[in-house]
Chain A
Amino acid sequence: MDRETLISKWLNHELSEKELEAFKQLDDYNELVKLQAGVKKFQPSDFDTASELKSLQNSIKNKKTPKKLWPTIAKIAALLVIGFLAFNYFSNQPTTIQTLASEKSFIELPDQSTINLNAASQVSYNHKHWDKTRRISLQGEAYFDVTKGATFKVETPLGTVTVYGTQFNVKHRNKLFEVVCYEGLVGVLFQGEETLLRPNERIFILNNQVLTSKDSQTGPSWIEGMSTFKSTPYGEVLAELERQYNIKITLNDIDPNLMFSGSFTHNNIELALKAITIPVNANFEKAESGYTIIREK
């Protein structure tokens, strides 16, 4: 066995007895032993594991929990952020108010403007930004009393009404779009063209045909429980009656495009039916789910 292997084995504490003998015969044996004895004196200072552990445990106890504060803070922060986002989201959601058939509603807006909402109609507006943008989307019919402030707009699928004044009625039903101004000034935007309405002026749009006329009333009659029509297709009149009483009406042998002027009350169905059948020479009969209107022979 060569010298290097022997020394290596000696270093690794793995000399067999026989090899140890051979190792002792090496020239440098004495030198190596002397070196080893000398190196042994470079002992590290004593390290008492037990007492070191004790002092470690003491310093840990003083530090108490290993829990960091950060995760807790992060959790609180996350909750706040979520809460804020949720608040933002919900407060940015438009407020929507809807009436069912034969139901009316009175709405007070944040600036104390008011809306009278007719049956089977819906308005929605953004509560949060109301003071900046007074914009309402409307489906159906509503009467507005607007207080002074920023531009007030009523958007319907057919056209937009910009309010310069205070009191007006907007009606959008199917192809029909009607605005009546009662006080102040109202601008009606229809197909990119704005028509200004002064008090007691009325714009009536049916099947894209625009008609302006005078309206002598001081407010929309539906608020007082009457529906009033001027040259309105008979079908629209019946649709309004259906909405007011939540009934179904079928026409028999009568042209729904027939123009009708007149009114009906919201409190008495018999009276209301008479009011709209007599002028057109028709009769009505109780049917399964409502009434049938038949032309008088």
Chain B
Amino acid sequence: MIKPLQNNSCEERIYTSLFNKYSKDLFNFLFFKFGEELHPRDKVQEAFIKLWENCKKVPPEKAKSFLFTTANNLMLNEASHKKVVLKYKSTPQRSSTNENPEFLLEEAQYLDKLQKAIANLSEAQRVAFLMNRVEGKRFKEIAEILEISTKAVEKRIYGALKRLREDIKEL
């Protein structure tokens, strides 16, 4: 019955370090994949609570997979599979601007197009692409999180970029 302490995630020190290591990545992953409507923040909490409840069965090296799978399943239980529309953040309006109104309008239109184009991407493409472009993660880091090969990550991102540009041109 006695297992070495290192072997499970029940020890508070290990559990906390797992949270610090994976919670943000998990949150962003859920955000990119499912959008904000399905409360990715709550799902992160729920996934970590599940990890705590199962900490004896899940060694730290399996924790990441466990967390991502659990959170993903929690999402899928709720998701009605409607198209995910991510919101962009409007830049705070500066009181004085040297940008003319026409430029501002054009930019707003561009962002709308981009928003639709991103919604049109496949889940896999969107997650990989936004991790790369928004979070600034390298292919290798993304490959580790998604547990796929670097080559596959590159393919997804490159594919996403191509598709975005085509869509924006068409729209």
Contact = CB atoms under 8 A, between A and B. Distances in A.
A13 interface: yes
A35 B90 CA distance: 15
A44 B28 contact: yes
A52 B41 contact: yes
Interface residues of A, number: 31
A8 B24 CA distance: 26
A237 B75 CA distance: 94
Nearest to B16: A53
A41 B88 contact: yes
Interface string A39-60: 1111111010100110110011
A39 B49 contact: no
Contacts of A41: 88-91, 111
Contacts of A55: 45
Q: Which of A11, A44, A56 gathers most chain B CB within 10 Å?
A: A44
Nearest to B35: A44
Contacts of A8: 154, 158
Contacts of A45: 31, 36, 41
Given A11-B161, A31-B165, A56 B49 contact: yes
B23 A39 contact: no
A47 B134 CA distance: 14
A11 B135 CA distance: 12
B44 A52 contact: yes
Interface in A6-34: 7-8, 11-14, 28, 31, 34
A47 B138 contact: no
Contacts of A60: 49, 52
B68 interface: no
A66 interface: yes
Interface string B138-165: 1100000000000000100110010011
B67 interface: no
Nearest to A11: B157
Interface in B109-137: 110-111, 114-115, 118, 129-130, 132-134, 136
A44 B23 contact: no
Nearest to B129: A39
Contacts of A47: 23-24, 27-28, 41, 44
B20 interface: yes
A286 interface: no
Contact of A56 (B19, B55, B136): B19
10 tightest Cβ-Cβ pairs between the two chains A and B: A44-B31, A41-B88, A47-B27, A39-B133, A38-B114, A42-B86, A12-B139, A44-B28, A42-B88, A47-B24
25 contacts: A7-B158, A31-B165, A35-B165, A36-B133, A39-B114, A39-B133, A39-B134, A40-B133, A41-B89, A41-B90, A41-B91, A41-B111, A42-B87, A42-B88, A42-B130, A45-B41, A49-B20, A49-B23, A52-B45, A53-B19, A55-B45, A56-B48, A56-B49, A59-B45, A66-B52
Interface of A: 4, 7-8, 11-14, 28, 31, 34-36, 38-45, 47, 49, 52-53, 55-56, 59-60, 63, 66, 68
